[in-house]
Structure 1
């Protein structure tokens, strides 16, 4: 009718809800899920403790029972709360009393504070002063530690007595003085000039005393056969005083010189411990061994001196240790120069003429020995007096060797015997070549001795060649050529052992070639006469304008006779060789002569063959006169 009518809702079962309040409560209770209502469950559990019988009486008295229990609980709570109140009241009284005490203490503290304010201020001031003094003490201790030496350190560097030994602590303190001197520049930078100068003066005094003491100790150690291991470090410390440093080095050189020369003289006259090795003077009868033993002893002694000097300068940093080592060893070695030079000079100039040819060879061996040790010792030391002495002795021995060699070669060359019937080199030539061989063999001792070969070879070869040529002047052409070839062959074989005699080898080879040419020419002429081609030869080389067959020397009968004799030569070429060529010592020379002779005959035959077969020369049946062609003859001879 104008207002909407609300339809009643249906419940879950499809029934319409009732408007009865009881019904609604019942439905609400029925719809309640007690398993999810914790408070209801707790209430039911509590109810089960005292609601034991479900009777009408019990249900009616339930509310009263619950209220009664509620009143009991409230009474228990009031009792408990009364105890708490009493405790709180007691605590309040105690706190009030404590508050009164604190107020009294605060009042008294304020009064005391006002009375002790001056004392606190004074105490604070004293504490600040104490802290400042403590810092100053630390600064003073650090300053003393950095810029001063302790009493023990001063005693260490100055020494309690003059003979106090030098230890490693001494160098530690000495290094500290230098470090303090270096640190004074920081004082100067901060404006403490007076303090810096005072510290530097103190350190200079201590350092000078230490260096003076170190210098005396180094001198005593230099004289000791077994110096302290601290000597190199001491010498390095003395580098800042060059005068003291040089004095110590000079003392070392003087002492080592004395030991070296005494050791050399003992080796010459006494020998080693127990007589082994034997004294060097016992070998004076053998100059080469005597000189070699003396030089070997010096050479063996220098490495020990070098090692000692290397150890001495090993810690020095302001110098070149290697250079000072070499110069020091050179200075030490000067002590043996005089006795060594005197004895070697005596061996060089001694008269050994009784030994004949051995004197030049021995002198040359001594010269090479001196040169070898000169170069070897120069690698150990600087070019000092010892090196100069060895070079001077080498020059003297080499000069004496050249003089003796020239004298002996001249003596032998003047007495070269005439050639024998065998045309072999004479005994004088053999002796001279033997002398040259000995010299060449001796030269192998020295590595750089080959630069002497040119002079040595000139001293021997030139006089020998002249003497051989003079001795061959009285012989015939063939005999002279054979003799000279034999002599030059042996000379060439001897010189070929050398490696730096190219000029002389070329000269000897030229002499050999010249004599071979002479001998080959004589051989060819002899063969040409033997085969009957000598008369034809001028016309063969220069044919006339007329036919060659009309020339008496080249008539067919003469050509046929030549061919007959040539066949005999082809069958046995050696039968027409000159008898003296069989005396040649070199088979190469004989082969060369045979080859040159054969080449000459082949050339002559080829020219004659061409002329005979030339129709212009009017030979009848040339194939019968010269049946062999030149190639066949060449094959048979060559």
Structure 2
């Protein structure tokens, strides 16, 4: 459009016929063209102007170009007039607003005046109201403090009655109040820490009185409950366990309560034991017959009493176990708290305050004191009224067995075990006394040994008794606990005196009867003791003694073979001879080796050999161990052969030396071997 506008601007001069000099027109045209070409169409003002022209729809005519500026200025003037009118309206509105603001300012000034006057009139009232409000807050705070103090540190009359009155029961409410009073007593430390300690001291004194009364009530209630328990099977209820746990905070009352309970149970168990023994009418519901009526055997009588005591101990322990084991830690803490509040009751600081199992064992032991006393009397009566040593020993072993059982139940420190120790020692004393009386009676009857050299009757009876004692000991716990040391005193009383009697009989015998008699007795003893491992030490000692007697019999048989064969003469002749050549050459000159004597010795040997073993065994025919007879004889025969080899060797050596020197002599005398032809090999064959 701008291009058409320029074209239209360039035509009028030629159309109107206006003449101008050519050079001027050319310059004007070139300057316009240059101006047009130098204009920047990117300028926003130019662009806005061109857009305004387009919006108006103006045609590029001379009239339009002449009127364009006027039209534009007219439009601007009209716009400015409209703006002035609008601002006039605004000014009027602002005037009205100013008038309103002035009115408001006057109203505010009036209100400030009224407010100032009101403040002057209400000032004293507000000050008084503020003071009253502050006082009210102080009163409310004091009221809250008083309520808190009363609710925490004061106990109502109803609660005090529940806590201290013996008419009221010991129930959950009692324990709740007691717990609250204990807390009050503990929290009094806060009150004692203030400047005014009077209130704290009063509350502390009051709470102490209430606690003491409450514990006294609890103590009396527990004693009453103990009296109403089932005596046959006393099961401690939950309320009693809780009461004892709480009462433990007063160790003195707690111990006194246990003492009274122990005394009561001791009396009850003593009566029950007496009823079990005699079947008295005071004991109801007896399930079995009285022990004294059906236990005719003394050992069974003692065993039944011990069994009853053991069964009662187990029942008593089970009934009281929940009291000390399940609540043991709580009781210990309660006692610890009580000792802290009562430091004068403390003992050794290193000892444990409360051991539940130990306390249980001590209480059960005290409950059984009466039973143990009655058991001791009856058992001692049984032991002392019988002269049978085996009965006393069986009773001692039975008591030892139950002592170990009670030690496991009640601990090694139980006082009941002292009774068992006393009974066991008493039974052993009676056993030793009975055995010594029996030995004294036997010794007065001992005269001579039996003709067949068998063990005497008193030893057989003693061994029969020893079998019973060993069997009793073997079934006891001591057989495995002390490695047989506990049986040594029994052997000293029941065996050694009889062996000593056999030794006295042996001293008056000749050989070999004394050794045969000793071996028969020792083998009889060994046969009894070898069945038990706990007697291995004594069996070993018996084996040593047997070996000594076997050696004596072997030597006796050896001497018998030497003398009966005539070899003793040759051995005695060679006793001073050495193995040197000069000494060997003198052997033919010895009296025993002269031809006649040597021939006689050879004949005596030949006559002896066929029946040598039979004759030698005949010497030991009263020895009961047949195998040992054979062994002893064979060993003696071996020694005889060794002696014969010595004689043979020296004779051969002497012959060799003699023949070497006189070998050219044709009329030489016969050698020693010619006169004594038997060889050691032949001897061994004949004596085998």
- TM-score interval for Structure 1 and Structure 2 normalised by the shorter chain: 0.7 to 0.9
* Alignment correspondent of 1:196: 200
* Alignment correspondent of 2:516: 482
* Alignment correspondent of 2:644: 605
Which of the numbers 244, 254, 265 marks the counterpart of 1:235? 244
Structure 1 residue 366 and structure 2 residue 395: aligned? yes
* Structure 1 range deviating more: 286-295 or 134-143: 134-143
* Alignment correspondent of 2:254: 245
Which of the numbers 266, 290, 313 marks the counterpart of 1:302? 313
Q: Distance in 2 between matches of 1:44 and 1:266?
A: 142
Structure 1 residue 138 and structure 2 residue 144: aligned? yes
1:70-85 mapped onto 2 (5 Å cutoff): 70-85=76-91
* Structure 1 range deviating more: 267-276 or 335-344: 267-276
8 Å CA contact 2:518, 2:549 repeated in 1: yes
* Alignment correspondent of 2:369: 334
- Secondary structure (helix, strand or coil) at the match of 1:320 reads coil
Q: Distance in 2 between matches of 1:558 and 1:82?
A: 195
Write out per-residue CA displacement over residues 471-495 of structure 1, whole angstroms, 9 at most, x where no aligned residue.
5577652344223212112213434
- Secondary structure (helix, strand or coil) at the match of 2:169 reads coil
Give RMSD over aligned pairs.
Answer: 4.3
Write out per-residue CA displacement over residues 221-250 of structure 1, whole angstroms, 9 at most, x where no aligned residue.
221325442334433444565553343223
- Secondary structure (helix, strand or coil) at the match of 1:230 reads helix
* Alignment correspondent of 2:301: 290
TM-score, with length taken from structure 1: 0.81
Change (3 A) 1:88 1:269: farther
Change (3 A) 1:303 1:90: farther
* Alignment correspondent of 1:264: 273
Q: Distance in 1 between matches of 2:478 and 2:360?
A: 27
8 Å CA contact 2:400, 2:477 repeated in 1: no
* Alignment correspondent of 1:444: 474
Change (3 A) 1:132 1:558: farther
Q: Distance in 2 between matches of 1:369 and 1:515?
A: 39
Write out per-residue CA displacement over residues 355-413 of structure 1, whole angstroms, 9 at most, x where no aligned residue.
xxxx3222211111123323443551686764443333323222222223334455566
Which of the numbers 207, 212, 215 marks the counterpart of 1:211? 215
Write out per-residue CA displacement over residues 527-556 of structure 1, whole angstroms, 9 at most, x where no aligned residue.
223544122121232339671122242347
* Alignment correspondent of 1:464: 498
Q: Distance in 2 between matches of 1:573 and 1:94?
A: 174
- Secondary structure (helix, strand or coil) at the match of 2:620 reads helix
Any gaps of 5 or more consecutive residues in structure 2?
1-26, 230-234, 337-352, 660-670
Which of the numbers 482, 488, 495 marks the counterpart of 1:454? 488
* Structure 1 range deviating more: 531-540 or 577-586: 577-586
8 Å CA contact 1:526, 1:578 repeated in 2: no
Structure 1 residue 182 and structure 2 residue 186: aligned? yes
Structure 1 residue 395 and structure 2 residue 425: aligned? yes
Which of the numbers 632, 640, 647 marks the counterpart of 1:593? 632
* Alignment correspondent of 1:4: none
Q: Distance in 2 between matches of 1:69 and 1:377?
A: 134
Q: Distance in 1 between matches of 2:604 and 2:90?
A: 176
> How far does residue 611 in structure 1 lie from its aligned partner after superposition?
2.2
8 Å CA contact 1:409, 1:432 repeated in 2: no
Q: Distance in 1 between matches of 2:92 and 2:214?
A: 94
Which of the numbers 98, 106, 110 marks the counterpart of 2:112? 106
* Alignment correspondent of 1:255: 264
Which of the numbers 462, 465, 474 marks the counterpart of 1:435? 465
May I ask how many residue pairs the two structures share in their alignment?
610
* Alignment correspondent of 1:5: none
> How far does residue 217 in structure 1 lie from its aligned partner after superposition?
1.0
* Alignment correspondent of 1:539: 573
Which of the numbers 604, 617, 640 marks the counterpart of 1:578? 617
8 Å CA contact 1:530, 1:576 repeated in 2: no
Write out per-residue CA displacement over residues 424-456 of structure 1, whole angstroms, 9 at most, x where no aligned residue.
435543332121122111113433474443332
Q: Distance in 2 between matches of 1:417 and 1:48?
A: 176
Q: Distance in 2 between matches of 1:273 and 1:560?
A: 103
Q: Distance in 2 between matches of 1:552 and 1:187?
A: 130
* Structure 1 range deviating more: 198-207 or 544-553: 544-553
8 Å CA contact 1:330, 1:382 repeated in 2: no
* Structure 1 range deviating more: 415-424 or 140-149: 415-424
Q: Distance in 2 between matches of 1:521 and 1:209?
A: 97
* Alignment correspondent of 2:436: 406
> How far does residue 524 in structure 1 lie from its aligned partner after superposition?
0.4
> How far does residue 51 in structure 1 lie from its aligned partner after superposition?
1.9
Which of the numbers 174, 177, 184 marks the counterpart of 1:173? 177
Q: Distance in 2 between matches of 1:153 and 1:371?
A: 58
- Secondary structure (helix, strand or coil) at the match of 1:536 reads helix
* Alignment correspondent of 2:131: 125
Structure 1 residue 22 and structure 2 residue 35: aligned? no
Change (3 A) 1:615 1:58: farther
- Secondary structure (helix, strand or coil) at the match of 2:495 reads helix
Any gaps of 5 or more consecutive residues in structure 1?
1-16, 354-358
Structure 1 residue 377 and structure 2 residue 406: aligned? yes
Write out per-residue CA displacement over residues 554-579 of structure 1, whole angstroms, 9 at most, x where no aligned residue.
34787689789989999998556422
1:30-109 mapped onto 2 (5 Å cutoff): 32-34=40-42, 37-38=43-44, 40-51=46-57, 53-55=59-61, 57-109=63-115
Structure 1 residue 515 and structure 2 residue 515: aligned? no
Q: Distance in 2 between matches of 1:439 and 1:626?
A: 62
> How far does residue 260 in structure 1 lie from its aligned partner after superposition?
1.8
8 Å CA contact 2:236, 2:319 repeated in 1: no
